[in-house]
Structure 1
């Protein structure tokens, strides 16, 4: 999964590298449009309706198997979905390192980026896998209520994303611009990032190993 994620971001970085500087200037407008789209989808679900599908064949996602190609494709799909919220740090840190002329530093940063992503997402995935049986079953029983809850969450997220894009535009015009909503959210983000930084990769790796061991024990117990 991590290899698929890293491959997608690597190709994306190579393609976007020549125009990264110009692209970053227009990213806030993309953020606003993307946020408004999420807001509309959330409002639609909150009203008790279902999102339309492109075609009947796409009503069900492809089956994810344990094969290497399936996991790699899943990582690419995950990268595509997360691109909207990770493109800024990726362009700022990894792509800028390659543009500075230091190929070795760029490769090292890219490897660290991929490894860190894989470690954290791996731990999160194991956590979801261990709790999904009861949680997902309960959510499915809620039916329309769960759909509306998800719609309400999408509505809030989309509104914030669009608002953040507008904040970035204001910041480009006046670097001294401040906003209480953005400042409060940034404070929470910094707290989470600082907590992860304080824990360090060794602690996250230990959590990953513990969750994996628990999963294996549960699987062994169910078989026996």
Structure 2
């Protein structure tokens, strides 16, 4: 059983950087960073968001593998349109942040947490991440996990499902925690960065969204039989980046990623105890007042 579990764990790790959806990882990290209004709670914020994204991702994959597989023939040709729509939404969000604005709270509750800090919102983003990734990452998931469940090996299938989720969550957690600590360290040393970080996040979100929309358009062109799409320079350049990233994740393996996560957690604990609290600036007071007004509505 150790071999299949390790295979499922590795498949989950590579699923986080699959060719269809890998650009959503920096988009997710941008949302995470843009949603931080202070330098406290970086660890909890990053790990909670990573858990939410992972849950949304694996739930969609599980539902597709077990319940929606018979509809795959109908659903698959329509997935590129979803990818294009998602990319356009990310571009709009990136432009919004570049303009110096904050992403709004979800409309269904006046007292809901901000979109970029909401655990359910991260789970929703994970579900969209999974939908964009289905075309590239569903085959290994079906072969490794769903086959065991459909064969009646419920315990084995659930163990493989958990290993896949752990692999996905491990990559996302390391990336999220590293970026959150980098952001907090930058803000702690350069207070003006507190105003720059959301705009930089908006730029990353804009670029990632543009690529996601372009990739969806690329898939639609392929489905229409337009062979020139095979030589798309944007897709070719991004594929080289994705392949390098996937090779790096595969080379590191779960042991080194776990070690990296432990090292980041240790660094966060040491930094929290050694760094004295910084005095609040007028920008901090404005952010706190804005947040309190939003929560009091």
- TM-score, L = length of structure 1: 0.72
Q: Matches of 1:216 and 1:49 in 2, distance apart?
A: 32
Q: Matches of 1:205 and 1:8 in 2, distance apart?
A: 22
Partner of 1:200: 253
Secondary structure of the corresponding residue to residue 57 of structure 1: coil
Q: Is the 8 A contact 2:87 2:211 kept in 1?
A: yes
1:93 shift after superposition:
2.7
Give the stretch that moved more between structures: 185-194 or 97-106: 97-106
Q: Is the 8 A contact 1:41 1:155 kept in 2?
A: yes
User: Are residues 1:163 and 2:214 paired?
Assistant: yes
Give the stretch that moved more between structures: 26-35 or 129-138: 129-138
Q: Matches of 2:268 and 2:195 in 1, distance apart?
A: 31
Q: Deviations over 1:56-109 (max 9, x none)?
A: 524646989xxxxxxxxx4x6534223333332553332465268445475454
Q: Matches of 2:190 and 2:78 in 1, distance apart?
A: 39
1:144 shift after superposition:
5.5
Give the stretch that moved more between structures: 131-140 or 197-206: 131-140
| Aligned with residue 138 of structure 2, among 91, 98, 112 | 91
1:136 shift after superposition:
3.8
Partner of 1:131: 182
User: Are residues 1:186 and 2:239 paired?
Assistant: yes
1:203 shift after superposition:
1.6
Q: Matches of 2:58 and 2:142 in 1, distance apart?
A: 10
Distance 1:126 1:144, change over 3 A: closer
Equivalent pairs counted in the alignment come to 213
User: Are residues 1:29 and 2:81 paired?
Assistant: yes
Secondary structure of the corresponding residue to residue 64 of structure 2: helix
Distance 1:156 1:118, change over 3 A: closer
Q: Matches of 2:272 and 2:97 in 1, distance apart?
A: 36
Gaps of 5+ in 2: 1-47, 277-297
Pairwise CA RMSD of aligned residues?
3.6
